[in-house]
Amino acid sequence: MLQQTVDHLDRISVEELQDALDNVGGKKPTQRLLAAIVYKNGITQTELSEWYGVQ
């Protein structure tokens, strides 16, 4: 499932993610969009998992 998410992120720009962030509500969707944005800016999956305390 994670690989599908990563593949999907390849087709979405950071600008699109930032636009979505402007219109999202709720903690979990906000965290997911923020994680996607920083991932697109070069943060590794390992670093993200450490930041969010998930595997």
Verdict on whether the full-model pTM lies above 0.75: no
- Tell me the pLDDT tens digit for each residue of 11-47: 899 999 999 999 999 998 998 898 889 888 888 888 8
**What pLDDT was estimated at residue 18?**
93
Please say whether the beta carbons of 21 and 37 come within 8 A: yes
Q: Are 14 and 37 in contact (CB under 8 A)?
A: yes
- Which of 6 and 19 is assigned the larger pLDDT? 19
Residue 27: count other Cβ atoms within 10 Å of its Cβ.
8
Q: Distance (Å, rounded) from C-alpha 32 to C-alpha 37? A: 9
Give the C-alpha separation, 37 to 40, whole Å: 5
> What is the separation of C-alpha 16 from the centre of its chain, rounded to a whole number of angstroms?
12
